[in-house]
Structure 1
Amino acid sequence: MRFDILNARLVKTTCTTMLLAALVTGCATRGQPHDYTAFKQSRPTSILVLPPLNNSPDVAATYSMLSQVTQPLAESGYYVFPVSLVDETFRQNGLSNPAEIHGVKLQKLREIFGADSALYITVKQYGTSYAVISSESRVTAEARLIDLRSEQVLWSGSATASSAEGRNSSGGLVGLLVQAAISQIVESSTNRSHPIAGVASYRLLAAGMPNGMLYGPRSPKYKTDGNTQP
């Protein structure tokens, strides 16, 4: 009888260990590694950022995101064409709608701006949602970097940021309700989506992230990143 009890405990412990291992492995699993072959061959030095497409109901999404893409790209080692100048150039040529701008031929963009590559961004989520227990501002964006010379897709990725990240859910139902009330006041009285868009932009475009952009030639990490040919 004692042997049976010990054996049952051993089986239970083994199963628990295997389950924990599976959970850890599952949490550590990432998406398929990005193929950087075309990126490394292209070696872009300059990036033309097009006004983002907005698939969210908030009309502020396009220019909120556009105003915050230069810093992570510049810090990653690229020359970024001034986004306000680019936007004005399109307007002077009768293009003010991001969908129309995204439809301009790559060869034409290269001819007008002389850029090595163009960045196409789509905002999938932008804005604040309100609920009894939790209110949050959430931004999700996708991006593609395309070589304007070869017309190859060099890189693509997506990122999400939320104002609900890091909130402490302790304190029971009363604590959750109080926290939700405070969050709703903050979210509704301030434009929380704009700084959250900045976080999403950094996660999306800063070099060094898993499956993210490679460092550009203006970065001291350019050669150590493997983005140059010997």
Structure 2
Amino acid sequence: MSIAESLSQEFSEKLSIRSVHSKSEEADSREEYVQSRINRAIHIHDLTKHTIRQAWIFLNNATKYDFNDHKQEGCEFPEATAYYKDAKFSSIVYLYNFSVGICLCDVVKYDWTGQPKKGVGKSNGKIKPEPFAVVILCIAVLPTYRGVNLSKKLYDHTMNKAIEARFHKIFALADAETEGFYNKLGFTKTDYEPLDQSELKVKLNGTPCQFSVMEYTINQGQ
């Protein structure tokens, strides 16, 4: 091989390597730009009596389950009052001013056998055990808007509210598809039943569903 051919080959290889790196960096830069635009467009708000009916729309369009047992015969929507108890700690995520996902929660009492923690409960200086827990019933995002971490953002919003309220425990109902999501967040399976699942009236292919219960302890080791 001549010196000219050798230099030509070396220069060609450098161009090829630079081209690969350039495309990779350009793709990463583009992805960061798109993600930053999406992040700026995301807004999460608490579920209210004015938006509570949207919970029904998300449950029916963003999950595979049947909730029709909640409706009275001939009604398109169930009575909104049936959702009021689940509005506590529930939230809706908006993307570019369109609602695209929901985190539906309940707040329940539970038997905590741990030691009382100072400062838990009302800020009156007394030492009390924490008698409440958040139960995440469902995190549902419309199929078109999945893949940009909206479920995680809804979860983070719920977690922050639970920490503010000095709650000690968060439970989540999970199926085979969502167990992995909660595992990554530090949840573990538990035999404790924070609520009666038969009251949820959820079916799949005509059969009542029974979900796994997962739990997460807030401020572990403190």
Q: TM-score, normalised by structure 2?
A: 0.32
1 or 2, which has the higher strand percentage?
A: 2
The structure with higher relative contact order (CA 8 Å, sep 6+) is: 1
Larger C-alpha radius of gyration, 1 or 2? 2
Task: Specify which structure has the higher proportion of helix.
Answer: 1
